[in-house]
Structures are given as C-alpha cells and as structure tokens.
Amino acid sequence: MKGSRTKGTTTIEVGADGVALITLINPPVNALSSDVLNSLKDSYEQALRRDDVKAIVITGAKGKFSGGADISSFEEVQEGKLNEPKPDFIISEVLGNTLEAAKKPSVAAIEGLALGGGLEVAMACHARISTPNAQLSLPELQLGLIPGFGGTQRLPRLVGITKALEMMLTSKPVKGEEAHALGLVDAVVSPNELLSTARQWALDIFERRRPWIASLYKTEKLDSLGEAREIFKFARAQAQKRAPNLLHPIVCINVVEHGIVSGPRAGLYKEFESFQELVRSDISKSLVHIFFALRGTTKVPGITDLGLVPRRVKKVAVLGGGLMGSGIATALILSNYPVILKEVNDQFLQAGIGRVRANLQSRVKKGKMTQEKFEKTMSLLKGSLDYESFKDVDMVIEAVIENVSLKQQIFSDLEKYCPPHCILASNTSTIDLNLIGKQTKSQDRIIGAHFFSPAHVMPLLEIVRTKQTSPQVIVDLLDVGKKIRKTPVLVGNCTGFAVNRMFFPYTQAAILLVEHGVDLYQIDRVITKFGMPMGPFRLADLVGFGVAIATGMQFVENFPERTYKSMLLPLMQEDKRGGETTFKGFYLYDDRRKAKPDPELRKYIEKARSISGVAVDPKLAKLPEKDIVEMIFFPVVNEACRVFAEGIAVKAADLDIASLMGMGFPPYRGGIMFWADSFGSKYIYSRLEEWSKTYGEFFEPCAFLAERGAKGAPLSSPVEQAKSRL
C-alpha cells in the first residue's frame, strides 16, 4: 500500500427486482481509498436518482466486504503530504447524508471481513446480513486512532455501550453468529444465499414489511444515563490501568459518552474533532509506522524481488526436545506441519514429547483448542532416536545446546542423511553459522532460524543468512515463518544477530548506573513506566543468571572496548542467587513467583563497585526519570546504529519490529530507531559523547551516529549497503 496509492472503484448493477447492487472494488481487501469513497457516493446518488431502483445492497468484491480505510492516507497526513485525511470528509457525508438519510433503503451484504471504516459503512445501512465466518470489528485503536466515520456513535446504539466499548478498546473481531446475537447484524446466511437474502431484505424494508432503521437514532440498547456514567467511569479506570501511557483509549470513551449525553449529532462532531487531533499525534504516527513496518519485513531487496516461488515444505525435523526444540515443534504442528522430533535417548525424547503435549494442553485448558483438535495436532508429531526417517524431510531445525563441536557434528550428519534440497537451519543465538557449517559442503542451504523463548508463543523469527545462503532458501524460510504465524525478520550473520546484539547494552547500562549510585529498583520502575514489560533487573531474574552471564561473555569477547565489565552478576551467582528459579536474584520471590525488593542486595552492589573501582556519583543519586530512560536506551540506539550501518539489517524499520517483538519495546513508541528519530541524531550523539567523557567507552557514539549527528540526519534513513552482510 505504501508508496503507491491504490485507486479502487465501485460498480452498480440494477436487477429486474429493482435492487441496485453496489460493489466495492479495491484489491486485496477493498480498502476505502478516497477514490472508492467518491465512487461509492456517485453510485449511490445514481441509484437514488433512478426510477427503476427501489432499494440498494452494498457488498465487496471477491468475498470481502471491506478491510476499512486506506491507512496510507493517514500516513500521508502524518508526513505532511496531505492537509487532511480525505476519507474523513467524504465518508462522513456518504454515511450520514447519503446512506442513512436516503429515501431508499440500503442493506449491507457482509462476507469475509468488515473492519474499521468497512463496518462503519455497513452500520450506516438500514440492515446488515452476514455470513457465519465473516469478521466484524473496529480496530482503529491499534493505530492510535478512534473510529472516525461514525463508529463511536452507531456501534453503542446497535450492541449496547458495554459491548461497544469492549469491541473498540480491545479491537477484537466478532464473527457472524455472535454479531447476530449482539444485534450488530440482522441475519446470518450461507455465502451462496447472501446476495439473494440481502436483496429481498432491502425490498421488504422498501415495502414496509420490515422496519426501516437508522442506527444513529436507535435507543433501545442504551442504558439509563446513571448506569451509562458508571460504565464509562469503570471503562476509564480499566483503560488507565491497562495502558497508562496511552491517551486515545480515554478519548474513545469520552467521545462515546459525549454522544450518549449530548445526542448522536453532537457525538459525530466530537468524533470528527478528536480523530483530527489523534491522526497527528506521536502515538498514532508510531503505530501507523509499525503497521507498515510489519508488512515490510518480508520484502527484501535482492531476495524477494527475484521472482522466486517458495518451495513447499511438507515435513520438518527438529533436533533437540528441550525448551526451545519442543516450542519450535509446537509452533510447527499448530500450523499443520508434520514434525519428527529427534533426541539422543528415549528419556530425553519422551520428555520433549511431553513438553509439546503440555504446550497444547494449556491451549485446551484456556478453551483455545478442542480435545479433538488436540489429538489431531499431536498425531503430527513423531519421535526418533536416529536419522533413518530424515530421508524425505524438507527442512531441519537444530535446537541443541550451544556447543560448537556438537553442532558441527550434527550438520555433517544431516548432510549425509537428508535429501540434497533439504534446508539446514540452526536455532543458535550466539554461534557463528559459518563455524557451524564449516565441515559441510552445503553452505548454500545453511541458515539461521532464531526463535525466541517460548518459541510457540513469541512472535519474532530472526532469519539469519550467511554470505553463502541461497536466495531460494531464504524465500522458503520466510514463507514457513509466515505460515507458522511468526513475523520473520531477515538479518546478517554476527554475534547476537539483531535483537540480542542491539539489546546487550540494555542490562549493562543499568548495571553501570547502579554501580555509580542509581537505585536499582528505581531503574526497573522507570523502565516499566516507559512501557517495557519489565525492567532490566526483573528481566535478568526471569532469564536466569546462568544464561545472562553466558551471553554477556559473548559480547565481552567480541566487543571488549564497549562492554561494561561488572562482577555484580557473578558475585550474586556465587552466593547461590540465580534469578527467579532459585527464588533469589535481584528480587526475592515467593511460591507464586511474586517479586519483592531485597535489602541485602546493597552488599553485592558495594562489593561489585569496589572491584570495578567506581565511586558513587552524587549527581546520579537524584537522576530524573527522563535521564534514566535515555542512559539505558541511548546505548541500545547506538548499537542498533552499528547493526544498521554494518548491513546486518536491511531496513531501520526491521530493527523497529525486532525491538518490539524480541524485547517488548512499546509499539506506541514506534520501535527503537523510530523512537530515536523523535529526539534527533544530533541530540543522541551529544548526550552519548557527554556521558562517554564521564563514564568511559561504554557510551562512546559510533561513527554512523557521529556522521548522522553532524548532519542532523535521521538515523533511519537508508544506508549505502556496499559492505552489507546481506
């Protein structure tokens, strides 16, 4: 969508029954671009003028009603290319004056999806007929917006205030049957009966055999004013608790309330005003950026534009049934891939299969999977202790312990037992792929498939290529990544790849601040308030000190000049503190894993401080929250700049997605590089330069950042990829 504005149109066909069928056409989801909306208005007015038209049915081409507004128009407003989001004016006019107030009745025939503006068009019709599997929702809040085309006023009048707020605030879709029970649609029929039913329904309204209802003026679903005020009060408290940094959920509640208290016309005006403000807000800019960045991760210049078609992967083998291997196997069978799980002995194999079973059983318990589906899914998994069944696998994912010689042996064996087309992937998070495949002649089909733990839950998949990896293998793995519902990001081969490398300074910066006198628990509070799922110390406890020290050593070895070397973690580990699993880390944990601060921590900090030869800096003892955020995250930005400059990542937007999905960076801040650009390269450079003079090389800005800072250029502007690892 980005870059080339989709045009789109509508068609009108008048049947012998006197019903005009207007079809929205704008592949792939019939988005409501300004051209589609103009055409809809023209088609509608034509239908109203014509004497042979009694009633109107609106539908979407190719089994989809409409996926909503054309989001690229919001982005153009945010970038200053458009003065106003055009659809807003047009759709308000089309919906209010043209559809709802028309002298001829209209019925929406909904199949596939009616999202956002698509559902708002349907709600402005006098009735809605849906298929059972159609998805209906108002997901605008995911873009930092509110429904801007009358949805905040019509939805509460159709389904009630509580359900309308739930649908808007959570962005969750409802299917046809539920929509019918709620009163959002008037009937549910099979796809082959949809148009005939909608046509008849429209004629029945015209002939007064069915009620002629304008959704905007319905009142029977609305609560009394006193009850409504209580609902709004509760909704505000919940929204504040769930997302204290976000304004737009509160704006949405206020707009709905305004319409209930002051009437629907006043509500529409308030909605329009609020939408105009939100579309220009930083949060909406960030979320719209993420919307496009997510869709851009599978577009890789020089790879996905070569016309290569992904080969069909019919069978996958996973080596290692530990936490990662069993999670990867779970993700694969959940998407109907037959999987062979190989282990070294029967005890380990049964334990691995048991973990997969437990992963699926938790879905059954939560009501996300039926018992029948559970059994069918489990039947896709077969265990093995040797390579005999590897003769016909299309892909192998190795997920054994991080041991170079063991992995080298495994890849030599795989080359012997797997067919020559088989993709040989490793889930390593730290070992160089060139080293893993050193003893094989199959470097062109060796690739990294780096999942994040737990692999069946976490959405990111880092696809790591070496200089030898063939484009076909990359295209194949991108396709598998999408099919197992992951967001694949292609990165180059280096220590820590993209996510772990970008974020290694995160915990190190926090430890540096603590050793210089900042309160450890204050850092975690500030970083959580910023929007991270947890602070760096709570995260270290969750991951476990063993893992944290092992990965930390990789960076000390590879980037000695810019790592902050502290003995804090080793000292604590020596004292049998290992993090959450040992009930003692930076926090103390009870049986339910609830964390509380530990006053004893001071002695470890003082000891680590004396080993490092660091003195408490009185300036840092009262460090403002803003400075804590910057001192923790600017080193992350600095490393992200190196990753980008070295060509480890193709686009800065890929690093934004990697930071969101790999580390939980808040989406409403737009990802690490987008957020950094909100400060400007000059400011970030000057801050890092200043800290490096006081606290050493750890903060020293990289050459890329210095160069961009000198020009005041955005950090996310494309890089000359002459030396790209890609």
Nearest to 9 by CA among 28, 21, 29, 24: 24
pLDDT at 559 over 90: no
- Say if CB 223 and CB 161 are below 8 A apart: yes
pLDDT number for residue 34 = 87
Mean pLDDT estimate for the chain: 92
pTM across the whole model: 0.90
What burial letters (b/e) apply to 701-715, b meaning 16+ CB within 10 Å? bbebbeebbeeeeeb
If you average pLDDT over residues 467-492, what whole number do you get? 96
CA distance 454 to 68: 33
pLDDT number for residue 89 = 43
pLDDT digits (tens, 9 = 90+) for 405-443: 999 999 999 999 999 999 999 999 878 898 898 889 999
| Beta-carbon count within 10 A of 357 CB | 16
> Under DSSP, is residue 174 helix (H, G, I), strand (E, B) or coil?
strand
Give the residue with greater pLDDT, 622 vs 706.
706
pLDDT number for residue 79 = 65
CA distance 460 to 661: 5
Q: Prior bond to 599 cis, omega within 30?
A: no
If you average pLDDT over residues 64-86, what whole number do you get? 71
- Which of 100, 120, 646, 700 is catalytic? The answer is 120
With cut-offs at 50, 70 and 90, classify the pLDDT of residue 94.
low
- Min mean pLDDT across 326-330, 562-566, 584-588 is at 562-566
- Say if CB 589 and CB 580 are below 8 A apart: yes
List alpha helices for 50-175, DSSP H. Answer: 71-78, 86-92, 117-124, 151-159, 161-170
- Min mean pLDDT across 342-346, 396-400, 411-415, 614-618 is at 614-618
If you average pLDDT over residues 475-489, what whole number do you get? 96
- Helix/strand/coil (H, E, C) string of 76-111? HHHCCCCCCCHHHHHHHHHHHHHHHCCCCCEEEEEC
If you average pLDDT over residues 126-132, what whole number do you get? 97
> Under DSSP, is residue 491 helix (H, G, I), strand (E, B) or coil?
strand
With cut-offs at 50, 70 and 90, classify the pLDDT of residue 722.
very low
If you average pLDDT over residues 133-137, what whole number do you get? 97
> Under DSSP, is residue 724 helix (H, G, I), strand (E, B) or coil?
coil
> Under DSSP, is residue 12 helix (H, G, I), strand (E, B) or coil?
strand
Half-sphere exposure of 447 (CA within 13 A, CB side): 29
pLDDT digits (tens, 9 = 90+) for 14-39: 999 999 999 999 999 999 998 999 89
If you average pLDDT over residues 181-204, what whole number do you get? 98
The angle formed by the CA atoms of residues 197, 199 and 200, to the nearest 5 degrees, is: 65
CA distance 652 to 640: 9
Share of the chain above pLDDT 70, in %: 95
pLDDT at 621 over 60: yes
pLDDT at 550 over 90: no
If you average pLDDT over residues 97-114, what whole number do you get? 91
- Which of 140, 343, 415, 646 is catalytic? The answer is 140
| Beta bridge partner(s), residue 135 | 113, 175
Nearest to 437 by CA among 483, 473, 461: 473
pLDDT number for residue 54 = 97
If you average pLDDT over residues 345-363, what whole number do you get? 96
pLDDT at 219 over 50: yes
> Under DSSP, is residue 338 helix (H, G, I), strand (E, B) or coil?
coil
pLDDT at 6 over 60: no
- What is the DSSP secondary structure assignment for residue 581, as one 8-state letter? G
pLDDT number for residue 1 = 39
Q: DSSP characters for 656-724? A: HHHHHHHH---GGGT-HHHHHHHH-HHHHHHHHHHHHHHH-GGGPPPHHHHHHHHHT--TTS----TT-
Give the residue with greater pLDDT, 605 vs 98.
605
pLDDT at 457 over 70: yes
| Residue 140 known to be catalytic | yes
Which token pair is 571? 């000292």
> What backbone phi and psi angles, to 5 degrees, belong to 511?
-65, -40
- Say if CB 441 and CB 468 are below 8 A apart: no
pLDDT at 56 over 90: yes
CA distance 442 to 424: 8
pLDDT digits (tens, 9 = 90+) for 643-676: 999 999 999 999 999 999 999 999 999 999 999 9
If you average pLDDT over residues 466-492, what whole number do you get? 96
pLDDT digits (tens, 9 = 90+) for 684-708: 999 999 999 999 999 999 999 999 9
pLDDT at 545 over 70: yes
pLDDT digits (tens, 9 = 90+) for 159-170: 999 999 999 999
In angstroms, the Cα distances linking 1 to 75, 89, 291 are: 11, 21, 11
